Structure 1
Amino acid sequence: MSCPDCQKGAILLGEPTGSIVDGAYLAAGPEGNTTRAIIVVTDIFGLPLPNCKLLADHFSKSLNCDVWVPDIFDGNPPFRVDTMKNMKTPERAGEKLEWLPFLFGLIPVIPALYRSRPSVASTRARTFIETLQAKKKYGKLGAVGYCYGGTVAINLASTDLINSAVVCHPGSGSEKEVQAIKVPTSWACAEDDMSFKPKLRKRAEEIFQSRRGKDNFIEYEFQDYKGTAHGFANRPNLSYPEVKAGHEGALLQTVKWFDKTLPV
C-alpha cells in the first residue's frame, strides 16, 4: 500500500487556478466542451498537496478540456504535506533510503493506510466517475495516476469507465492486474523504483507485447526516465537536472498520449 518512495519529493511552485466542485478539484476547459475529460488520480498525499492541482491545470490548458481530481481518500489522506519534509527518502536514482526515519513516520499512519487501501480508493474513484458521467456525459475519459494513484489507474483501466490511461511510477501491483487492462495505456517509469520494481516493470511490457497480432491487443508504450526515482513525475526535486527532465518528459508524454488516444 505504501513504500518509502511514496513520501519523498518536493512541493511544486505555483498557485492552482481551478476550483473545488462537489469535493473534487476542477481545472475547467472551454465551457460546454464535453468531447473529452481527464481524471487525475493523486498520490498518497491526496488533494491537500498542491502538486495534483497544478498538474490538472497544466493538462487542462494543454488538452483544452476539463480535468478533475477526485478525493480518493475521503478527506483523510494517509500522509500530510508536512510529512514529506521529515522523511529522509531518495529523490533521484542511486540515492539510499534512511530506513529509521521512514519507519517512525510510517507507524502512526498504518490505520489510515488500511482505511484507504487501493481496493477502497479504487471503489471511490469508480463511484466518482460514474456520478460525473451521469451529469456531464463526456464523450471520452482518460485517467492519469501517480504513485498510489497509478495503482488505482491500473484498476480503472480494467473497467469500461475510461477510454485511455497513463500510469506514472505506480505503487505495488500484480501481473494479474496488468493482464486485466483493456484500454490504451502509457507508462512513465523511473530508473529506480522500490514499488514498481524492475521485474514487474519488465513483465508488464511483456504482457502487452504478447498480445500483438491477437484480438485482445491494445495500444501501449513504456518510457523510462534515466536518473529518476519513484515520484519524479508529480513530486520532483527540480534542482536535479535529470529529475527536472524526467518530470517535464512525463508531462509531455501524458499530453501526447491523450491527444493520440482521445482525439477531439
Structure 2
Amino acid sequence: MSLSQCCATGFRWEGTPKGKETTLSSNKAYVTGTNKDAAVLIVHDIFGWTLTNARMLADHYAEEADVTVYLPDFFAGEIVAPDRLDPAYAGEPFDINAFIIRNNKDTRWPEISGCAKALKTEHGFKKVGAIGFCYGGWAVMKLGAKENGLVDCVSTGHPALMENADIDNIGCPVQFLAPEEDNTFTPEMKEYTLKTLPTLGIDFDYQYFTGLKHGFCTRGDVNDPKQKHGLERAKNAAVSWFREYLH
C-alpha cells in the first residue's frame, strides 16, 4: 500500500490559527486548547505540521471537543510546499515515493509513539485520542493496536499505508471517515474494514462520504458546497467521537 499523487493535491484554507508552537517529547509541535485531562494527537498528512488547514482543524477540535490538541512535526522539519495546493501551481511533480522512503514507518514510529506516551506520562493527561489523515492513518491505527494501547480512541480520514493487520489489531474505539474515491483506502480495504470491525469487540464508527475524494477532510475546497459540507461533517464527526471517548 503506497501513497499516490492525490495525496499532494487539494486546497488551502484562509484563516489564522489560534495556538502556539512548543515541543512534545523531542518533536516541535503546534498546541491549542486548555483542557488538562483530555488530549488529542494529530498525525498529519504529507503537508506536515505547519499547514494552516491542519492547525485550523486542531483549533476546531480543541474548542468544540474541549480537548488540548497537539500537532507535532513528524517529518524532521521537511515541509512540502503548501503552494502545491494552489490551482495555478506549475512546479515539479511531487516525488511521493522518495518522500515515503525518507519518512518510512520504521523511522517515524518511534517519534509518533513517543509523543503519544509523553501525553500521559509527562503531561499527565488522563485520556488521549489520536486522529490521522492520509499518511497519518497507519500511525494512529498502530497507536490504538491491542499490543500498544497508547491511546483511548482513534479516528482516521482517508487513511494511507494501512494494511489488513492494522484493522485486525485495533484494540480501542475506532472511527473511519471514508470518501468514495480513494486510491489509498481502496474499495478492497474498505470492504475488509467493514467485514472485520464487527468481529473485534470494540465500538466503531464508519462514515461514508459519497462523491468525495481522498484528502477531503484536510484539503477540501470550501468554495465547493459538496466538499465544504463533507469536510464540516467529517470535522463534526471527529469532534463528537472525541467528546464521547475522552470525557
TM-score (norm 2): 0.91
CA distance in 1, matches of 2:119, 2:139: 17
Question: Residues 138 and 161 of structure 2 are in contact (CA less than 8 Å); yes or no, is this contact kept in structure 1?
Answer: yes
Distance apart, 1:251 and its partner CA: 0.6
Query: If you compute each CA radius of gyration, which structure gives the higher value, 1 or 2?
Result: 1
Distance apart, 1:110 and its partner CA: 4.1
Q: Please, which of 218, 239, 244 is the counterpart of residue 223 of structure 2?
A: 239
Q: Does the C-alpha gap of structure 1 residues 198 and 152 become closer, same or farther in structure 2, counting only changes over 3 Å?
A: same
Q: Which residue of 2 is the match for residue 190 of structure 1?
A: 179
Distance apart, 1:121 and its partner CA: 2.4
Q: Please, which of 66, 87, 93 is the counterpart of residue 105 of structure 1?
A: 93
Q: Please, which of 216, 229, 244 is the counterpart of residue 213 of structure 2?
A: 229
2:86 is paired with a residue whose SS is: helix
Determine whether 1:20 maps to 2:4. Answer: no
Q: Does the C-alpha gap of structure 1 residues 110 and 206 become closer, same or farther in structure 2, counting only changes over 3 Å?
A: closer
Q: Which residue of 2 is the match for residue 68 of structure 1?
A: 70
Matches within 5 A, 1:1-264: 1-22=2-23, 23-29=28-34, 33-77=35-79, 79-85=80-86, 105-107=93-95, 110-158=97-145, 159-211=148-200, 217-263=201-247
2:189 is paired with a residue whose SS is: helix
CA distance in 2, matches of 1:197, 1:229: 11
CA distance in 2, matches of 1:262, 1:207: 24
Q: Structure 2: which 5+ runs fail to align?
A: none
CA distance in 2, matches of 1:2, 1:232: 15
Amino acid at match of 1:28: G
TM-score (norm 1): 0.85
Question: Residues 65 and 240 of structure 2 are in contact (CA less than 8 Å); yes or no, is this contact kept in structure 1?
Answer: no
Amino acid at match of 1:206: K
Q: Does the C-alpha gap of structure 1 residues 201 and 119 become closer, same or farther in structure 2, counting only changes over 3 Å?
A: farther
- Seq. identity, %: 26
CA distance in 2, matches of 1:139, 1:171: 29
Question: Residues 119 and 128 of structure 2 are in contact (CA less than 8 Å); yes or no, is this contact kept in structure 1?
Answer: no
Amino acid at match of 1:25: Y
CA distance in 1, matches of 2:50, 2:109: 19
Question: Residues 41 and 149 of structure 1 are in contact (CA less than 8 Å); yes or no, is this contact kept in structure 2?
Answer: yes
- For 1:204-226, what per-residue CA distance to the aligned partner results, in whole angstroms no more than 9, with x for missing partners? 11111223xxxxx0000100011
Q: Does the C-alpha gap of structure 1 residues 199 and 87 become closer, same or farther in structure 2, counting only changes over 3 Å?
A: farther
Q: Does the C-alpha gap of structure 1 residues 132 and 210 become closer, same or farther in structure 2, counting only changes over 3 Å?
A: closer
CA distance in 2, matches of 1:256, 1:161: 20
Amino acid at match of 1:236: G
CA distance in 1, matches of 2:70, 2:211: 30
1:238 is paired with a residue whose SS is: coil
Name the stretch that deviates more: 125-134 or 220-229: 125-134
Question: Residues 7 and 87 of structure 1 are in contact (CA less than 8 Å); yes or no, is this contact kept in structure 2?
Answer: no
1:106 is paired with a residue whose SS is: coil
Amino acid at match of 1:198: P
Runs of 4+ in 1 over 6 A off after TM superposition: none
Q: Which has the higher strand share?
A: 2
2:161 is paired with a residue whose SS is: coil
Question: Residues 87 and 105 of structure 1 are in contact (CA less than 8 Å); yes or no, is this contact kept in structure 2?
Answer: no
